[in-house]
Amino acid sequence: MAEAEKDILDRVKTETIALRYYLQGRGFTMALEAMEFAKSYHQGTRKDGITPEFFHQVSMANFARTLVSGLRHPEEVFATIFLHDAVEDGGLAVAEIRRRFSDRVADAVDALSKVIGGVKRSPADVRRMIEADPVASVVKGIDRANNQGSMLGVFSLEKQVEYIEETEGFILPILKQGRRSFPDQEPVYENIKHLLTREIRLLRALHAEIRAREAEIEGLHEHAAGPDI
């Protein structure tokens, strides 16, 4: 095993164990059950071909630990984090989540799923459902922060620009509405908003540097080729 691969897998193992102990210490047994159950729906690897797919959920949950004092339903947030992709990507039925866990978790996962039973919901319907849910509105922000913060070197520059624009036009307004609808969670939404906006500023600065270097290289190539005759 290459050293870089070993480092990644060691980090995954360490963060997963730390999260499991944290949930046990909080007495979040439902979230622990959701964590183990959801892993079976995420058996692949991320785009680097090394990092387990489920590390996305683990990373989200470890960030949620820093927000827990401001959450209205903390255990349900963790359970929803683990399950949030299982319906849309894994074919898990919302009814099964409701049976195994709780109505609140099932409703939140339902709200976060753009496709249910092969039927795609409109962006307006998805946004309306997320904004109306105190759990889904938090998880959606955490999900976007994790994806946006790890897309450099994975997505094309054009895809990254589209993703940032979607964050500004879709995700940030959800967080703004969350602050109004669930004011007891205002510090949580504000924290996620600041993380997202800092990521956007950094990404745009990196994009500008990449474009400047590409223009410089193109200019050097044109100079080396000489004038057209």
How do residues 87-109 score in pLDDT, each as one tens digit? Answer: 998 899 999 999 999 999 999 99
Tell me the CB-side half-sphere exposure of residue 81, using CA atoms within 13 A.
31
> Which architecture characterizes domain 3-225 according to CATH?
Orthogonal Bundle (1.10)
pLDDT at 41: 87
Give percent above pLDDT 90 in the chain.
75
pLDDT of residue 52: 86
List phi, psi (to 5°) of 182. Answer: -130, 70
Q: Is the confidence at residue 206, as pLDDT, over 70?
A: yes
Q: What is the dihedral of CA 219, 223, 225, 228, to 10 degrees?
A: 100
DSSP string, 113-154: -SEETTEEPPHHHHHHHHHT-TTHHHHHHHHHHHHHHT-TTT
pLDDT value, residue 216:
83
pTM for the whole thing?
Answer: 0.91
Domain regions of the chain by residue span = 3-225
Q: How far apart are CA 25 and CA 5, in angstroms?
A: 30
pLDDT at 229 over 60: no
Residue type, 29: T
Residue 47 has pLDDT above 80, yes or no: no
Average pLDDT over all residues of the chain: 92
pLDDT in tens, 100-135: 999 999 999 999 999 988 889 999 999 999 999 999
Environment class of 128 (CB within 10 Å of its CB; exposed 0-12, middle 13-18, buried 19+): middle
Residue 46 confidence (pLDDT) above 80: no
Crossing angle for the helix pair 55-64 and 74-83, to the nearest 10 degrees: 160
The gap from C-alpha 163 to its chain's centroid, in whole angstroms, comes to 12
Residue 190 or residue 41, greater confidence: 190
Question: What is residue 163's DSSP assignment?
Answer: H
> Which pLDDT score, from 0 to 100, does residue 209 have?
94
Does the pLDDT at position 227 exceed 70?
no
The highest-confidence range among 74-78, 113-117, 149-153, by mean pLDDT, is 74-78
